């Protein structure tokens, strides 16, 4: 992507995100993420009616009269965006790839956090490395995050079904070796090392990798984890496009199938339904919230639906 093109896209996302944030998204965000706990403020003299469980025994022993610990709500949050850039996210059957949908969603969360005075950081899991931007505040910081998010996983552009089939056939001749790709599991381990305080962690992926889904369970022990799963319409229902070479973008393995076969289409849809069911079941058992993002629909609607759902559940 050329510098001028990148700058134009960054500006477009900034304007779009700021408009949505200022028109209501910020309020929905604030109603859900308005402080995750309390922190110590000071010790003050005990007065009748105070809870004796709040007595600071160290100060009391030192001054000779009872003092209690005073706490205040911890409003400032740390939001961490963990972005998967697996090769499967390069696919897009229409105008938008899964990677682009992930970028839009992450930008909306980032600017909502910044608008409300929270810190936001990002960890982008690339093929053989990771890009980490520590949590900070400010519009300039948000723009830096967006610039990093816009860097495509590879040089493959958004493509239609014809382009997808062409690339799949080309993969028969040249298979990509991605065994060293940084996984969601690697990202969770990294975040465990750099995030000292409890954070709101959005993990964005298509979650085709089962191990990536399981890795979220360990993150949930310390952080407020939200799994954002992105999907393309073609992954729900394969078009009757005749003979098609389907390629696993992770391994390069290909298989020639008849997409008009009712039996194959039924098996394809059943496999997808089973995978999604297992993912959602794992998230429910781990008490991890999920967001479903579809490339043919408005990304902001998925985010708002999640925020309103969580707000209703918590009674806010």
Sequence spans of domains, the chain: 3-33+76-314, 37-74
- pLDDT tens digit sequence for 255-292: 787 878 888 888 888 888 898 999 999 999 999 999 99
| Higher pLDDT among residues 187 and 169, named by residue | 187
- pLDDT tens digit sequence for 65-74: 999 887 655 5
The secondary structure of the chain in percent helix, strand, coil, rounded to multiples of 5, reads 50, 20, 30
pLDDT average, residue stretch 185-195: 89
> How far is it, in rounded angstroms, from Cα 66 to Cα 55?
7
CATH of 3-33+76-314, one of 3.40.50.300, 3.30.830.10, 3.90.550.10, 3.40.50.410: 3.40.50.410
What are the strands, taking DSSP E only, across 196-252? 200-205, 224-231, 243-247
DSSP symbols for 52-119: GGGB-HHHHHHHSS-EEEEEEEE---EEEEEEE--GGGG--SSS--HHHHHHHHHHHHHHHHHHTT-E
Mean pLDDT, the chain, whole residue set: 80
> How far is it, in rounded angstroms, from Cα 292 to Cα 76?
27
- Which residues 6+ apart lie within 8 Å of 5 measured at CB? none
Question: What is the percentage of the chain residues whose pLDDT exceeds 70?
Answer: 82
Q: Which two tokens stand for residue 170?
A: 């080309």
Question: What is the percentage of the chain residues whose pLDDT exceeds 90?
Answer: 30
Residue 26: pLDDT band with limits 50, 70, 90 = confident
pLDDT average, residue stretch 57-85: 84
The whole model's pTM is what?
A: 0.74
- Most confident option among 24-28, 138-142, 253-257: 138-142
**Sign of CA pseudo-dihedral 291, 296, 300, 305:** negative
> How far is it, in rounded angstroms, from Cα 205 to Cα 85?
8
> How far is it, in rounded angstroms, from Cα 140 to Cα 133?
13
Is the distance from CB of 243 to CB of 255 less than 8 angstroms?
no
pLDDT average, residue stretch 134-151: 89
- Which residues 6+ apart lie within 8 Å of 274 measured at CB? none
273-304 burial code (b ≥16 CB/10 A, e <16): eeebeebbebbeebebbbbebbbeeebbebbb
- Most confident option among 148-157, 166-175, 197-206, 304-313: 197-206
pLDDT average, residue stretch 290-296: 94
Q: Which two tokens stand for residue 143?
A: 């723009």
Phi, psi of 167 (to 5 degrees): -70, -35
**Rounded to a whole number, what is the largest CA-CA distance in the chain?**
86
Evaluate if residue 232 carries a pLDDT over 70.
yes
Q: Which two tokens stand for residue 87?
A: 């090769």
**Sign of CA pseudo-dihedral 289, 21, 133, 148:** positive
């Amino acid at each position: 992507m050329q510098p001028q093109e990148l700058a134009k896209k960054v500006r477009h996302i900034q304007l779009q995100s700021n408009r949505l944030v200022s028109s209501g998204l910020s309020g929905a965000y604030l109603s859900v993420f308005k402080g995750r706990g309390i922190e110590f403020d000071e010790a003050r003299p005990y007065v009748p009616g105070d809870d004796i469980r709040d007595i600071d025994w160290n100060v009391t022993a030192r001054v000779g009269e009872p003092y209690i610990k005073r706490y205040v709500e911890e409003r400032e949050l740390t939001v961490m965006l963990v972005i998967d850039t697996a090769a499967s996210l390069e696919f897009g059957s229409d105008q938008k790839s899964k990677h682009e949908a992930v970028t839009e969603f992450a930008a909306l969360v980032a600017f909502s956090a910044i608008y409300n005075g929270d810190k936001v950081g990002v960890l982008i899991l690339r093929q053989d490395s990771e890009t980490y931007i520590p949590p900070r505040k400010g519009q300039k910081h948000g723009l830096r995050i967006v610039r990093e998010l816009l860097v495509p996983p590879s040089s493959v552009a958004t493509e239609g079904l014809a382009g997808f089939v062409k690339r799949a056939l080309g993969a028969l001749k040249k298979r990509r070796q991605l065994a060293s790709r940084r996984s969601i599991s690697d990202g969770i381990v990294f975040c465990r090392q750099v995030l000292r305080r409890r954070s709101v962690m959005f993990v964005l992926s298509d979650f085709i990798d089962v191990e990536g889904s399981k890795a979220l369970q360990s993150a949930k022990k310390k952080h407020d984890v939200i799994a954002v799963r992105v999907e393309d319409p073609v992954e729900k229902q394969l078009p009757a496009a005749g003979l098609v070479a389907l390629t696993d973008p992770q391994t390069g393995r290909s298989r020639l199938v008849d997409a008009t076969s009712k039996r194959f289409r039924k098996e394809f849809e059943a496999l997808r339904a089973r995978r999604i069911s297992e993912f959602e079941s794992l998230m429910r058992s781990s008490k991890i919230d999920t967001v479903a993002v579809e490339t043919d629909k408005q990304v902001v609607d998925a985010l708002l639906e999640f925020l309103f759902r969580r707000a209703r559940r918590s009674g806010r």
